[in-house]
Amino acid sequence: MQSSYNLWDPGVWSFVFALAILFLGMIAANALIRLVKPLRNMLIPSSVLGGFMLVAFLAIMKAVTGKSLIEPSTLEMITYHGLGLGCTALALKVEKKTKRRHAQRDIFNSALVTTSGYLLQVVIGLSVSFALYFVLAEVWPASGMLLPMGYGQGPGQAYNWAHTYETSWGFANGTSFGLTVSSVGFIACSIGGITFLNLMRLRRNPKATSRIGAELRDEVRPEDIAAPNEVPLSDTLDKMTLQFGLVFLTYALAFGIIYALSALCDLSGVELLTSTVKPLIWGFNFIFAALAALLVQGSIGFLTKKKVIEKQYFNNLFLERISNVCFDLMIAASIAAINLSAFRERSFVIPMVVMCVLGMVGTYFFVEHATKKLFPTYSEESFLSLYGMLTGVVGTGIILLRQIDPGLRTPASKNLVFQTIWAVLTGFPMLLLMGFAPRSNAWIMITLGICAVMFLVFYGWIRLAARGVARSQASDYDDELRPIEIEE
């Protein structure tokens, strides 16, 4: 049977070419950051700067050649699957249980701040877009729902929901709107983080240093690469190949779960399930990826206990590297996919600018207020990590945190990683409303009201939790003062 394509056809090389351009943009950005100190001091990740550089480069190439160097659909697919694969790799990591006192309480309190931050961003974003809708009729009234997706959830979720709003609900330029909000979020992360660090200096905070933008060095131990109970580094199957295989097989399992649930929605014939729940399921591919990872880990753990499997197959260092590559590609691709022509529209620019500025200011002051109450012994570290995550992704939170905690010795980094499941559970009602808000103006008002009430409830919860933290601090202090009893 004759092949239907030739090796020199553009389609054979298009995806590889797209990846090469994305990697080139990130490498060029990294070199620029190292050479230009003001850029280095802005703490902008190479993937973010590379994405912005690619926006300009791709626009120039299209103006010169009249063709797109990379198809927007390719960039959008990399964004979508980059989130899912990155979360899969993170979820497969084998985490050691901590024995730190109050560890679980601090993790849950971090989730309270995260969920409250999402809700605050919904209230700000939806209030802005709905109010502007009555001033500028061409403004899409539910566009404010994309503020927490772009700021709080990052480029992957911003794309998922923005694309759904554009294709299913008629939001013109919706995909570019969501991706632009997430891109501005990284700028907000940089502005807020640098402002906070410089204020620490002015207040002569002993934690403040002059290492903003300094080169960070990782400490990798031999056991991180090849622990005694793990499979060999190089065997008949290379260890990195094994990690990639586990990630992709787990993600394929997640696809199976999503597909089955989606098919059930179609078979039900219920309009609510087909128009609202089905897009919600496909949009939250990363949640099902985490669920599939738990199933894979549980299955391998069971087989290990039964002595069917004798070696440890997961390597945390390699899995973290895979997740970082996926997230870097996701960020660069999401920014590069922005359609610059949309910036000619008032209905695009005005609501985006207003909600992004107010979202940055509101998130900054709320997170600073909450972390002081919930994490009094390491409030600065908690602010930088949670604010960085609520305006970008987990990685940007870690970048800000390492400016005052380079060794990640405080609990802030662990809180940031482990709070995700709690944040999804506590914030699920808000996530569910993502599919209802675009239905009508009435649903926008209902969504706004529910999220405002939820924010007040969660803020009250934070106040109660803060009292518990204060009481436990006093108790810990009393324990330290209590004389030690010596057995005779």
Instruction: Please state, in angstroms and rounded to a whole number, the distance separating the CA atoms of residues 130 and 355.
Output: 11
- With pLDDT > 90 as the criterion, what percentage of the chain qualifies? 32
Is the Cβ–Cβ distance between 389 and 153 less than 8 Å?
no
User: pLDDT value at position 211?
Assistant: 61
The DSSP string of 213-253 is TPPP-----HHHHS-TTBPPSSSSS-HHHHHHHHHHHHHHH
pTM equals 0.80
Instruction: Please state, in angstroms and rounded to a whole number, the distance separating the CA atoms of residues 216 and 350.
Output: 38
The DSSP string of 10-33 is HHHHHHHHHHHHHHHHHHHHHHHH
Is the Cβ–Cβ distance between 156 and 334 less than 8 Å?
yes
User: pLDDT value at position 372?
Assistant: 93
C-alpha closest to that of 380 among 411, 359, 420, 423: 411
Q: Which two tokens stand for residue 218?
A: 């990782």
The DSSP string of 405-459 is -TT--STHHHHHHHTHHHHHHHTHHHHHHTTTGGG-HHHHHHHHHHHHHHHHHHH
C-alpha closest to that of 94 among 300, 306, 325, 394: 300
Q: What is the DSSP secondary structure assignment for residue 342, as one 8-state letter?
A: G
**What pLDDT, in 10s, does the model give residues 191-232?**
898 899 888 888 877 776 656 656 666 665 655 566 666 766
Nearest-Å Rg of the Cα atoms of the chain is 23
User: pLDDT value at position 331?
Assistant: 86
User: pLDDT value at position 368?
Assistant: 95
Is the Cβ–Cβ distance between 56 and 335 less than 8 Å?
no
User: pLDDT value at position 446?
Assistant: 95
User: pLDDT value at position 214?
Assistant: 61
User: pLDDT value at position 261?
Assistant: 92
Q: What is the DSSP secondary structure assignment for residue 97, as one 8-state letter?
A: P
Instruction: Please state, in angstroms and rounded to a whole number, the distance separating the CA atoms of residues 434 and 446.
Output: 12
Break the chain into its structural domains and give their ranges. Answer: 14-95+105-212+255-475
Low-confidence ranges of the chain (pLDDT < 70): 1-3, 95-101, 208-229, 231-234, 407, 473-488
